[in-house]
Structure 1
Amino acid sequence: MPVFFALLSLCANALLIILFLLVAAFLVYCLYIKYIHVNYDYIPGPPRDSFLLGHAPTFLGATKTDKTIHDKLLEWAEIYGPVYRVNILHYVSLCVSCPEATKEILMSPKYPKDKQVYKKLFYLFGERFFGNGLVTAQDHELWYKQRRIMDPAFSSLYLRGLMGTFNERADKLMDKLGEIADNNVQANMLHLLNCVTMDVISKVAFGVDLDLLNKSSPFPKAVETCLKGMVFYVRDIFFQFNPKNRGYVNEVKAAARLLRTTGAQWIQKRKLAMQNGEDVPKDILTMIIKTAAAEENMTEEDEEFMLDNFVTFFIAGQETTANQLAFCVMELGRHPDILEKAKKEVDDVIGMKQDISYDDLGKLVYLSQVLKETLRIYPTAPGTSRYIPESMVLDGIRVPGGVTCFFSSYVTGRMEKFFRDPLTFDPDRFHPDAPKPYYCYYPFALGPRSCLGKNFAQMEAKVVMAKLLQRFDFSLAPGETFDILDTGTLRPKSGVVCSITHRNYTN
Structure 2
Amino acid sequence: MSIWYFIFILAAHILGILLFFLLLAFIGYCVYIKYVHMKYDHIPGPPRESFFLGNSPAIRRVMARDGNGHDLFLEWAERYGSVYRIHVLHYVLVCTTSPEAIKEVLMSSKYPKDLFLHNRLFNLFGQRFFGNGLVTVIDHNQWYKQRRVMDHAFSCLYLRSLMGTFNERVEMLMTKLSDFADRKVETNMLEQVNYVTLDVITKVAFGMDLELLENTSLFPKAIETCLKGMIYNIRLVFFQFNPKNWPFVKEVREACKLLRSTGAQWIHNRKVAIKSGGNVPKDILTQIIKAVGKEEGMTKDDEEVMLDNFVTFFIAGQETTANQLAFCIMELARHPDILDKARKEVDDVIGRKRDMSYDDLGKLVYLSQVLKETLRMYPTAPGTSRCLPTDMVIDGVHIPAGTIAMFSSYVSCRLDKFFKDPMEFNPDRFHPDSPKPYYCYYPFSLGPRSCLGKNFAQMEAKVVMAKLLQRFDFTLTPGQSFDILDVGTLRPKSGVVCSIRHRKQGA
TM range (shorter): over 0.9
2:61 and 2:297 map into 1 onto residues whose CA distance is 48
Instruction: Report how far residue 6 of structure 1 moved.
Output: 2.5
d(CA) in 1 for partners of 2:334 and 2:201?
29
Q: d(CA) in 1 for partners of 2:148 and 2:241?
A: 40
The worse-fitting range, judged by mean Cα deviation, of 56-65 and 90-99 is: 56-65
How far apart, in 2, do the equivalents of 1:280 and 1:444 lie? 30
Deviation at 1:120?
A: 1.6
Q: Indicate yes or no: 2:190 matched with 1:190.
A: yes
Task: Find the counterpart in structure 2 of residue 420 from structure 1.
Answer: 420
| 1:400-411 correspondence to structure 2 within 5 Å | 400-411=400-411
- Aligned residue for 1:83? 83
1:64 deviation in Å?
A: 2.0
- Give the Å deviation of 1:297: 4.6
Structure 1 distance, partners of 2:65, 2:21, is 38
Matched position secondary structure for 1:121: helix
Q: Residue 65 of structure 1: CA displacement?
A: 1.6
**Alpha-carbon distance, 1:24 to partner:** 1.6
Structure 2: tracts of 5 or more residues without a match:
none
Q: Equivalents in 2 of 1:360, 1:78: separation in Å?
A: 41
After superposition, the C-alpha distances for 1:401-456 in whole angstroms (9 at most, x for unaligned) are 01000000000010000000100100000011100000000000000000000000
Match of 1:497 in 2: 497
- Counterpart in 2 of 1:389? 389
1:506 Cα offset (Å)? 4.4
Does 1:244 pair with 2:249?
no
Task: State whether residues 63 and 231 of structure 1, in contact with CA within 8 Å, keep that contact through their aligned partners in structure 2.
Answer: no
SS in 2 for 1:473: strand
The residue that corresponds to 1:303 in the other structure is 303
**Do structure 1's residue 58 and structure 2's residue 94 form an aligned pair?**
no
Maintained 8 Å contact 2:289/2:295: no
Question: Partner residue of 1:221?
Answer: 221
Comparing 117-126 with 152-161, which one deviates more in the overlay? Answer: 117-126
Deviation at 1:295, TM superposition (A): 8.0
| TM-score w.r.t. length of structure 1 | 0.99
How many Å separate the matches in 1 of 2:497 and 2:98?
37
> Which residue of structure 2 aligns with residue 24 of structure 1?
24
Provide Cα deviations, 1:116-159, integer angstroms capped at 9, x if missing partner: 01222111111111110000011110000000000010011100
Q: Which residue of 2 aligns with 1:111?
A: 111
2:178 corresponds to which residue? 178
Rate the CA distance shift 1:506–1:462 in 2: closer, same or farther, 3 A. Answer: closer
Query: 1 CA distance for matches of 2:39 and 2:496?
Result: 47
TM-score (norm 2): 0.99
Q: d(CA) in 1 for partners of 2:88 and 2:238?
A: 13
1:480 is aligned to 480
Letter in 2 for 1:80: Y
Unaligned runs of 5+ in 1: none
Tell me the secondary structure at the aligned position of residue 164 of structure 1: helix
What is aligned with 2:291?
291
SS of 2:292's partner is helix
How far off its partner does 1:398 sit?
1.6
Correspondence 1:270 to 2:274: no
Deviations 1:350-408 (A, max 9, x none): 11111111111111011000000000000000000000011111111121101000000
Q: Distance in 2 between matches of 1:93 and 1:75?
A: 16
- TM superposition shift of 1:93: 1.0
Pairwise mapping of residues 91-490 of structure 1 onto structure 2 (< 5 A)? 91-294=91-294, 297-490=297-490
Distance 2:252 2:39 in 1: 39
Shift of 1:240: 1.0
Match of 2:49? 49
Alignment partners' CA distance in 1, 2:401 and 2:469: 51
- 1:130 and 1:312 in contact (8 A); partners too: yes
Contact 1:74 1:411 in 2 (8 A): yes
Residue in 1 that maps onto 2:3: 3
Q: Which amino acid aligns with 1:303?
A: E
CA distance, structure 2, for counterparts of residue 118 and residue 376 of structure 1: 26
Q: How does 1:59-74 map to 2 (within 5 A)?
A: 59-74=59-74
Aligned equivalent of 1:12: 12
Question: Deviation at 1:56?
Answer: 1.2
| More displaced stretch, 53-62 vs 148-157 | 53-62
CA distance in 2, matches of 1:449, 1:49: 35
Q: Return the letter of the residue paired with 1:360.
A: D
Alpha-carbon distance between aligned partners in 2 of 1:345 and 1:462, rounded to the nearest angstrom = 12
- What amino acid is the match of 1:315? I
Amino acid at match of 1:55: N
Distance of 1:390 and 1:399 partners within structure 2: 9
Mapped to 2, the partners of 1:32 and 1:75 lie a distance apart of 29
* Structure 1 counterpart of 2:403, one-letter code: V
Please give the alpha-carbon distance, in whole angstroms, between the structure 2 residues aligned to 1:441 and 1:34.
36
Aligned counterparts of 2:96 and 2:180: Cα–Cα separation in 1: 45
Q: How many residues align?
A: 507
